[in-house]
Copies of this chain bind each other. A is one copy, B any other.
Amino acid sequence: MAAPARSPLARPLPELGTVEGVRLGSAEAGIRYSGRTDLMMAEFVPGTTVAGVFTRSKCPGAPVDWCKAALPHGVARALVVNTGNANVFTGRAGVDAAQATAAAAARLVQCSASDVFVASTGVIGEILPYDRITKALPDLYTRLSPLSWADAAQAIVTTDTFPKAAVREITIGDTPIRIQGIAKGSGMIAPDMATMLSFIATDAALPQSVLQQILSEAVDRSFNRITVDSDTSTSDMVLAFATGRAGNAAIEDAADPRLADFVAAIRDALQELALLVIRDGEGATKLIHITVTGAVSDASAHKVAMAIGNSPLVKTAIAGGDANWGRVVMAVGKCGEPANRDTLSIAIGGVWIARHGMVVQGYDETPVVEHMKGEVIDIQADLGLGNGHAEAWSCDLTHGYIDINGSYRS
């Protein structure tokens, strides 16, 4: 398949610095593709804590199982990520591949294999030729550098049309703290209490339990609010690594007020990465920002927002520049959450089109038509039932999606 053109919604990679205690790099291991990097490794200093959130798929890949088993130890020394093969639905061979990859990295880093986290993304159901990884790792290891973040972001992409990263600088107490994260994702995006691949590192010193709580809450407000195509991957994973090299004061509670800026920055960085994934949604030409208010609860609002964001009819209308608000009504009505036609109001681009069960008297479509030509389409649904609120992000459904997915394996 010819590589799809760069998304019209793409953003340039931010300037990536270093995170003290992290060295990383990439290599061409030839797992499936040739002429591009397909293997990424990161090494973390001893004492690095790790937190993770994983796909809720009932058919997770062997790397997801591996990382879930490793996570309770709470520490990480290395991360190895390959593209081209997801190592999913590969039975005993998949378990062996994850184990062998971790063991090869552990030998280089001189740590236990259970301190190595592995992730794979690509085609499902084919045996991962892990010898290509274990052969490539020793040379890759000699080339690890604190500066290779951009290379790492590039090495983990699959159908992505641009690499994705986010950077934040804040303080904990008086100590300057750096957060850098990378992500990949473009299709099979409907993380259900999980996400696509994303890896965040910080030099903050944080106990595993604190890092985990901050990460879980941030994922819930970012990656769990996006959808490209309603399809949840078998390989979704977000990992956060805290090296402790910044030397901030010890903090034992995620609710500690000294962490407020850090918590906000993690949320903000994950939000940025999640939106970059949507901006690279397969075939996407427009970003859809959905706000649901007036639901019976936040959880109900979230389900309604995702139903709107997942509706092929809403998404194709937006691709066509059509302010077809009736399809938003349809999506609200179909999702099974409490809703009442006669208290429902719909706005597009900030213009209330329908209120309380019918079109607004004298509705002028002109400003809405203008809004539909923009890059970000704002849809708001007020259910008029309670105080539940949620936001979600999606993208339009275009010919590009069909082109990309009709021939993915060829």
Binding site for B on A (CB under 8 A): 55-60, 86, 88-94, 123-127, 187-188, 190, 192, 229-234, 310-313, 316-317, 319-322, 324-327, 329-334, 336-342, 344, 354, 356-359, 397-399, 401-402, 405-410
Tell me the nearest residue of chain B to A344, going by C-beta.
B59
Tell me the nearest residue of chain B to A1, going by C-beta.
B320
Residues of B within 8 A of A338 (CB): 58
Report Cα–Cα, A263/B399, bound state, in Å: 43
Tell me the nearest residue of chain B to A359, going by C-beta.
B125
User: A402 and B231 in contact (CB under 8 A), knowing A322-B409, A334-B190, A341-B59?
Assistant: no
Residues of B within 8 A of A57 (CB): 330, 333-334
Tell me the nearest residue of chain B to A190, going by C-beta.
B334
How many identical chains are in the complex? 2
Would you call B407 and A358 a contact (CB within 8 A)?
Answer: no
Would you call B59 and A329 a contact (CB within 8 A)?
Answer: yes
A190, chain B: closest CB distance, angstroms: 7
Would you call A329 and B124 a contact (CB within 8 A)?
Answer: yes
Report Cα–Cα, A232/B334, bound state, in Å: 5
Would you call B358 and A91 a contact (CB within 8 A)?
Answer: yes
User: A334 and B89 in contact (CB under 8 A), knowing A125-B326, A322-B408, A339-B59?
Assistant: no
Report Cα–Cα, A330/B61, bound state, in Å: 10
Would you call A331 and B89 a contact (CB within 8 A)?
Answer: no
**The one of B92, B93, B313 that contacts A405, using a Cβ cutoff of 8 Å:** B313
Tell me the nearest residue of chain B to A363, going by C-beta.
B125
Report Cα–Cα, A392/B354, bound state, in Å: 36
Report Cα–Cα, A58/B232, bound state, in Å: 26
Residues of B within 8 A of A342 (CB): 91
Would you call B402 and A397 a contact (CB within 8 A)?
Answer: yes
Residues of B within 8 A of A59 (CB): 329-330, 332-333, 339, 341, 344
Report Cα–Cα, A172/B58, bound state, in Å: 48
Report Cα–Cα, A319/B332, bound state, in Å: 29
**The one of B127, B320, B341 that contacts A406, using a Cβ cutoff of 8 Å:** B320
User: A123 and B399 in contact (CB under 8 A), knowing A319-B406, A406-B320?
Assistant: no
* Most chain B beta carbons < 10 A, residue from A123, A324, A329, A405: A405
Would you call A332 and B58 a contact (CB within 8 A)?
Answer: yes
Would you call B60 and A341 a contact (CB within 8 A)?
Answer: yes
Residues of B within 8 A of A192 (CB): 334, 336
